Chain A
Amino acid sequence: MSDVILLADHDGGKVAKTVAELATFAKRGGTPVAVILCANGAADALGAQLAGTDVEKVVAVESDDFAQFGIPAMVDVLAQLVDSHKPAAVLVASSARGKEIAGRLAVRAGSGIITDAVDVAADFATTQSVFGGSFTVSSKVTHGIPVITIRPSAIEGASTSNTPVVEKVNLTISDKAKLVKITNVQPAVKGGRPELTEAKIVVSGGRGTNGDFTQVEAMADLLGAAVGASRAATDAGWYPHTHQVGQTGKTVSPQLYVACGISGAIQHRAGMQTSKTIVAINKDPEAPIFDLADFGVVGDLFAVLPQAREAIQAKRS
């Protein structure tokens, strides 16, 4: 069976949840080989975290150049591994970085590329949800080794008894991949809350919060949810841009999405309308968000949210 390469995302210390998801997709079409590109000395600890997933082999390249030179350096190495492994496909998690890596790799390898797949079959035919989820498209790469980026949380990563061995490979990074220098990194502050794209429940606030997210956050914490925001809220500086949901923010598809003080502009809907259940709280009965909502409350979020919280707490005790 041929290898299917998946790029294992990590933050230096922890591998991302998406790696297990990519491996489960990869297994459908071949042997899942995880590629870890990391700093010197980091590979063993990262590789160990892939035990128990569908990953069967781990290939690690250690170099401090990745942190210094970023995406082009990663692509340089990944392209060499694709060359030597001749995989049936390359899978990458959809994120700003993942898509850029995939795009450059596709050009380098002479491959077709599909981004933002939500499903991948054994023959690497993909399903995508486009135009903010209003259309479902099946496509296929028709030239070269398929390069596919897959949305986080599109599948539950399987649990296995695999304990893949970490094979360390020495590869040189070419000078043309060293044109950009990364001089400072401020990682996104991760609070105690789940990641937006991984969360089962998302509670979002918009302009209707008037800058006060305490009710939105309190509801999120009660439900174990991630906090999202509309662009109006992130533009106003009320919430970090990393929490923006929508066309130019993140695409989420949780079990439950609670939109508080969000009108439901088409660009916001583009990032959340495939959520399983949608709840909206909005003062304006004409707000377009109500067209999507499974349950809508026409009311003031500052009255509805605290009351809902109390009632949920009462039900639980």
Chain B
Amino acid sequence: MKIAVCVKQVPDSWAEKKMVGGVLDRAGVDAVLNDLDEYAIEEALRIVEPLNEGKETPEHTITLISMGPDRASEAIRKGLSMGADSGILIADAALAGSDAIATSKVLSDVVAAGGFDLVFCGTESTDARMSVVPAMLAERLGWAQLTFAGSVKVDAANSAVEIARMTESGVETMSASFPCVVSVIEKINEPRYPSFKGIMAAKKKVIETKSLADVGISNSEVGATGAWSAVADAQARPPRDKGIKIEDSGDGGSKLAEYLAEKRLV
């Protein structure tokens, strides 16, 4: 079984994000592996590890795939230190400013060429927050879409996957045969911290870098020029007015009620 995990490098979700000229200012913020993709890596590891137990060369492998700038290799490296086997980075100056349509095209072409059985994704990149790339991948690849998984069961011998899809509408049990696109929610597991051994081992693992030409996509299909939507304007939201803060000295509840009544909220 060959599993791909799509991972994105994003600005640290703990940092305040700013926009400059309609695009996210990435310079001022630490770049990290998208938190939500860590759950996807962890889940893939939990699937292959028991199957590889005791084997000298792993029969079941995990390849991390990322599209992004050169330094996105750091995000891949973190995933490798968690235990994934190898990485593919699609980096090309022409990719800057790509929309989800283009991103899904690049990722799906790389996945299709790689002979994978399963692709894992997070449910959302914490910068773009569109939650569309996994569904777009399934559409482009013509693979089964098993998204928003709160649990995943893989039956490698029978090439079958069953998930519990957990969304606001409830829980759905759904199943499909390989190949599948799976996205996982952040309730599915607790991602491991890379161990020292893992970090050392990751240094020796291979990250293959591909250009757009290597993937076979033309520059005009990607980047800001190839994007099918455009930002016209971006404005910082005016700061909120400074509020009232009171210390509860036995009457905090009453004062709160008074405030709400004054504002006609109760």
Contacts and interface: CB of A to CB of B under 8 A. Distances in A.
Interface of A: 11, 70-72, 75, 95-97, 99-104, 106-108, 111-116, 125, 129-131, 133-144, 176, 179-188, 201, 223, 231, 234-235, 241-242, 247-248, 250, 255-256, 266-267, 273-274, 277-279, 281, 285, 290, 292-300, 303-312, 315-316
Interface in B145-182: 145-148, 150, 166-177
Interface residues of B, number: 83
Given A137-B22, A247-B13, A279-B256, A179 B233 contact: no
B265 A297 contact: no
Contacts of A306: 253
Interface of B: 13-19, 22, 36, 99-101, 104, 123-124, 126, 129-136, 138-140, 142-148, 150, 166-177, 185-187, 227-237, 240-241, 243-248, 251-261, 263, 265-266
A311 B15 CA distance: 39
Give the one of A72, A131, A250 with max B CB within 10 A: A131
Contacts of A256: 260, 263, 265
Contact of A298 (B168, B173, B185, B245): B245
B236 A134 contact: yes
A142 B263 CA distance: 43
B187 to A, nearest CB: 6
Contact of B257 (A140, A201, A311): A311
A69 to B, nearest CB: 9
Given A137-B19, A187-B170, 14 more contacts: A72-B138, A113-B100, A114-B229, A138-B232, A139-B232, A141-B228, A143-B229, A179-B177, A181-B174, A188-B171, A248-B36, A266-B14, A279-B256, A311-B258
30 contacts: A70-B172, A70-B174, A71-B145, A96-B148, A96-B169, A99-B132, A100-B131, A100-B147, A103-B104, A104-B135, A106-B101, A107-B139, A133-B237, A135-B236, A136-B235, A137-B234, A138-B231, A144-B228, A179-B176, A186-B170, A188-B168, A247-B13, A255-B265, A266-B16, A293-B243, A295-B244, A297-B248, A304-B248, A307-B257, A311-B256
A102 B169 contact: no
A131 B129 CA distance: 9
A292 B243 CA distance: 7
B261 A312 contact: yes
Contact of A180 (B18, B99, B176): B176
Contact of B246 (A95, A201, A234, A297): A297
B114 to A, nearest CB: 19
Contacts of A310: 253
A152 B254 CA distance: 33
A306 B122 CA distance: 40
Contacts of A140: 229-230, 232
A181 B175 contact: yes
Contacts of B138: 72, 104
Contacts of B230: 139-140, 142
A152 to B, nearest CB: 10
Contacts of B130: 99, 103, 113, 115-116
B186 A296 contact: no
Give the one of B132, B187, B263 with max A CB within 10 A: B132
A142 B227 contact: yes
